[in-house]
Amino acid sequence: MGNVLELNQIIYCLLASQIEFGTYQYKDSLPKMEEVSRWFSVSLDTVKTVYRQLKAEGYITLTKKAGAAVAVQFQEAELEENIQTFFSRRRDAVMDLCQSLGPLFSRAQWLAMKRAAPERLDELERLCAPSEILMPYVMVQHIQLIYGSLNNELLLRFIWQAYIFYQAPFLSLSENLTAFEDGDGPLLHMIGLCRRKDWDGLWQSVISFQEQLASSIRRFYANRINMKTEGEPVPFTWNAYRKSSQRCYSIAIELLKEVRQGILAPDGFLPPPAKIAEYKQVSVTTVRRTLMLLNQLGVTQSINGVGTKVLSTQDSAENCDFNQPVIRKRLLDFIQSLQILAITCGDWAKGVVVDAGAVSLWKDRLAYIKENGRYESVVFASLEIITLYSPIQTVRHLYGHLVCFLLWGYPLRSMHGSREEINNFYFPYITSLSASLEHSDWEGLAEELERLILHELQFAAARLKELGVTEAAELAISDFREK
């Protein structure tokens, strides 16, 4: 397998590791495929692919009458070696992920639970009842219910994949459940706080739980995993798209970057498809699909016998086909990215300003924006600092995707009106960010960046709703700092 995993490979890795750990032992039955499909919110065909792969590799037997059962028998020494090998190869990635728990998971969990409807809280409470289902699978259902109230598929997929990568394997070892022997006590307590609308108490409870989990994982590595890493370390990667095969999206993003950077100027023309295909090392068919996507997004316009013209931001909104399902989905990627960035950018901005190089570059970028008169660039210029300088690899990886996803909002770049109106909107943020950087006011810097991204989110959600992308309205947030 490569670094980028399809959903079926993520589930496969979890089940295979559980067999290798002895969570499921020789002749034990695996969960029914229908149950796995429901737990992970994936199609039954996806789960069938996983089970067929497990059978082909000798992990299980698979019959219509008996279902799936473990076919391999490991000795105790083999199980221990499997555990040591699995976790040692993931040590660096897991330690890095643990550092991101607070800035991402805590804020998102607090906000999601605060927004959860009573019916969702009732369902969460029901899932806290004793069950024969293994803890990792119960937690998958919790994740779907808790974070689902934010209506953010990108965020949910990131949290889900991070959980499957390191928390689920950790919780698959019975010895690690002792740290959570109160079962779902913390979650039941959080539900009670939600019902009483005690948001400050909820925040403290969420922080406490995330710290407990991170501390337990660190202790596990310190006290239990003594093998030195053998072989290639396993990194954590997030699948930004549900299918890694959707190459035309990544090529479109690369071309959008060149448009934003001015390499491809408005009213200019793209190279011929054959030239793009040669440069990007893809087929001409893939390039044509990419150009069709950019035409529908309103970034370009193909003119018969002439070529593909890059449109200005003013012309883009008029030429964007907001009724196309693929365009609506890309615009939702844009606004879902904005929501994640709004929730997290403040904490992670404070994490990068300890680097003098980050502060210097940020100042230089803001000064350049003032000179060139395109003040809306403050959003990309500021968020890219986090992508470049965060000490946490997970943050750099996640922000690298999210900042790129903002490019799907190209037809909305003129949403604040004329050039004068756009500059008037962004100028106060540029001034305030510059002042905070100059005076080393990192708390003020974080709060101002949050305000900027939050205003972008609310504005974009309202604009997309006007344009018929009604799902965008569910992503607007305004209360994530009110505890």
Is residue 77 a part of any domain in this protein? no
pLDDT tens digits, one per residue of 117-170: 999 999 999 888 877 778 888 888 888 889 999 999 999 888 888 888 988 999
Is the pLDDT assigned to residue 184 strictly greater than 60?
A: no
- The CB-side HSE value for 343 (13 A sphere, CA atoms) comes to 27
Instruction: Looking at the structure, tell me whether residues 354 and 301 fall in a common domain.
Output: no
Q: Give the global pTM.
A: 0.90
Q: How confident is the model at residue 455, as a pLDDT?
A: 93
Buried b (16+ CB within 10 A) or exposed e, 206-215: bbebbeebbe
Instruction: Looking at the structure, tell me whether residues 108 and 216 fall in a common domain.
Output: yes
Instruction: Looking at the structure, tell me whether residues 329 and 307 fall in a common domain.
Output: no
**Residue 179's pLDDT band (cuts 50, 70, 90):** low
pLDDT tens digits, one per residue of 75-84: 999 999 999 9
Q: Which amino acid is at 322?
A: F
pLDDT tens digits, one per residue of 127-139: 888 777 788 888 8
Helices in 41-184 by DSSP H: which ranges? Answer: 44-56, 76-89, 91-100, 107-115, 118-127, 135-148, 153-162, 168-171
**Residue 313's pLDDT band (cuts 50, 70, 90):** confident
Q: What residue numbers bound the domain in which 48 lies?
A: 7-70
Instruction: Looking at the structure, tell me whether residues 306 and 199 fall in a common domain.
Output: no
Is residue 409 a part of any domain in this protein? yes
Q: What is the H or E stretch that residue 300 is in? A: strand 300-303
> The domain spanning residue 66 has which CATH number?
1.10.10.10
Is residue 238 a part of any domain in this protein? no
Q: How confident is the model at residue 119, as a pLDDT?
A: 95
- Contact (Cβ atoms closer than 8 angstroms) between residue 287 and residue 277: yes
The residue written with tokens 């009458």 in the block is 65
Q: How confident is the model at residue 4, as a pLDDT?
A: 41
pLDDT tens digits, one per residue of 197-255: 999 999 999 999 888 889 999 999 999 999 887 778 999 988 766 554 578 888 999 99
Please say which residue of 287, 319, 351 terminates a domain. Answer: 319
Instruction: Looking at the structure, tell me whether residues 38 and 137 fall in a common domain.
Output: no
| Average pLDDT score over the chain | 89
Instruction: Looking at the structure, tell me whether residues 40 and 111 fall in a common domain.
Output: no
Instruction: Looking at the structure, tell me whether residues 276 and 331 fall in a common domain.
Output: no
Please say which residue of 17, 44, 70 terminates a domain. Answer: 70
Q: How many domains does the chain have?
A: 4
Distances in whole angstroms, Cα of residue 400 to Cα of each of 165, 337, 341, 367, 388: 19, 11, 11, 23, 9
Buried b (16+ CB within 10 A) or exposed e, 380-393: bbbbbbbbbbbebb
Is residue 345 a part of any domain in this protein? yes
Instruction: Looking at the structure, tell me whether residues 444 and 330 fall in a common domain.
Output: yes
Instruction: Looking at the structure, tell me whether residues 33 and 104 fall in a common domain.
Output: no
Comparing CA positions, the residue from 109, 467, 460 lying closest to residue 475 is 460
Q: Report the relative pairing of strands 300-303 and 60-63 from DSSP bridges.
A: unpaired
Joined tokens for residue 36: 């796995």
CA distance 299 to 256: 8
Is the pLDDT assigned to residue 384 strictly greater than 60?
A: yes
| Partners of residue 37 on adjacent β-strands | none
Instruction: Looking at the structure, tell me whether residues 368 and 466 fall in a common domain.
Output: yes
Q: How confident is the model at residue 181, as a pLDDT?
A: 53
Q: How confident is the model at residue 317, as a pLDDT?
A: 86
**Residue 101's pLDDT band (cuts 50, 70, 90):** confident
Q: How confident is the model at residue 8, as a pLDDT?
A: 85
Instruction: Looking at the structure, tell me whether residues 394 and 421 fall in a common domain.
Output: yes
